Structure 1
Amino acid sequence: MSLSLLSILLATPIALLALYGLIRSEEFKGHLTAFPRSNSWGYLLMGISTVWFLYLVKIEDISDFESYKRFMMFGFAGIGIGTTFFVRDLLAARGAAVLMLLVAKLMVDTARWIDTDARLAIVVWAYIMVIAGMWFTISPWRLRDLLFWLAKSDRRLKGALCLLLTWSGFILVLAFSLYRTPSA
């Protein structure tokens, strides 16, 4: 996947979500505060994360783990499925956190070989997602608290949404300009 395409696929949904939040603020607040405890979002995000992680384990070619790969696949599948059914509290927050880590890996892997300093926008974003993903995996209630804190104030929420819209716009500009060069 090219860095341009990845940037478009990441920035477009964020921009659309931010626009939705700015246009329908009250409705968006309801969705925002319901998200961390949503079982349907939790099942979806944990399912995607588990399948994606298992795929990454399957294609990994580190010879030290080759003889253990089958056990690792079963173990990680059990952890993903077990978490989905036995740790339902804040399941969507946990699923979002794991997905942040996987998306960040894809971002860094895609940007690694691009010969422009503009790739650092994606790399820095990825590392911010890694920190957030680890933090929210360890303590998913912090994501819930953050979303509630944002939803508590119209000014705070609109400021955060404007920041997301600006950031996604910046990434889209990079996607259609610097990331479209032959080296990218």
Structure 2
Amino acid sequence: MKLNILSIILGAGVVIPATVCLLNPASTIEVIRRFPRSTVAGYLLTAIGTVWFLINLNSENIVDLESYKNFMYLLFPAIGLATCLYLKDFLAVRGLAVTMLLLAKLMLDTARWENSSWRLVIVVWAYVLVCLGIWFTVSPWRLRDLIDWAIKNYKRFIALTTVKLIFGILLVILGIIMF
């Protein structure tokens, strides 16, 4: 994937939810508040993370892993299933954390060969996702606390959402003009 396409997709992925939040803040606040304990979102994000990881595993050409690949093709779906069955508490946060880590890998792999200094916007964001993904994996209740902090004050929620909207627009503009 090219960085310009990824930047536009990521930008749209930030702009669309931010716009929905600004147009209908009351209902989106409630959806956001319920997210950390949503089992449906947890199942979906865990499935996405598991399948995405298996796709990455399949495309890796590391010779040291070749003898273990068949075992890993069985192990990681079993881990994904066991996570859904036995770690239902904050499952959505755990699934989101795995998906964030995999998205960061895609972002870094895509930005690696770009010559523009603007690629650092994507690279820095990817490393922020890595840090958050690790943090939310280790202590998933932190996302709940972060959400509670963000939505506790209406003006704060609108300000944070506006910053997200501006960042998403920046990503789309970078995808169209710079990359």
Where in structure 2 are there 5+ consecutive unaligned residues? none
Identity %: 45
Q: What is the CA–CA distance in structure 1 between the aligned matches of 2:2 and 2:63, rounded to whole Å? A: 28
Deviations 1:57-90 (A, max 9, x none): 1221111111111112211111111101111111
Q: Which residue pairs with 1:19 in the alignment?
A: 19
Letter in 2 for 1:145: D
Deviates more, 1:71-80 or 1:136-145: 71-80
Letter in 2 for 1:120: L
The reply to whether residue 124 of structure 1 matches residue 124 of structure 2 is yes
Letter in 2 for 1:115: N
How much has 1:173 moved relative to structure 2?
0.9
Letter in 1 for 2:60: E
How much has 1:13 moved relative to structure 2?
2.2
Aligned residues: 179
How much has 1:52 moved relative to structure 2?
0.4
Secondary structure in 1 aligned to 2:118?
Answer: helix
Secondary structure in 1 aligned to 2:17?
Answer: helix
Q: Which residue pairs with 2:47 in the alignment?
A: 47
Q: Which residue pairs with 1:81 in the alignment?
A: 81
Q: What is the CA–CA distance in structure 1 between the aligned matches of 2:85 and 2:5, rounded to whole Å? A: 35
Q: What is the CA–CA distance in structure 2 between the aligned matches of 1:6 and 1:84, rounded to whole Å? A: 30
Q: Which residue pairs with 2:160 in the alignment?
A: 160
Letter in 2 for 1:160: L
Deviations 1:45-64 (A, max 9, x none): 10000000011112211111
Q: What is the CA–CA distance in structure 1 between the aligned matches of 2:79 and 2:162, rounded to whole Å? A: 37
Q: What is the CA–CA distance in structure 1 between the aligned matches of 2:149 and 2:95, rounded to whole Å? A: 20
Secondary structure in 1 aligned to 2:61?
Answer: coil
The reply to whether residue 66 of structure 1 matches residue 66 of structure 2 is yes
CA RMSD of aligned residues (A): 0.8
Q: Which residue pairs with 1:182 in the alignment?
A: none
Where in structure 1 are there 5+ consecutive unaligned residues? 180-184
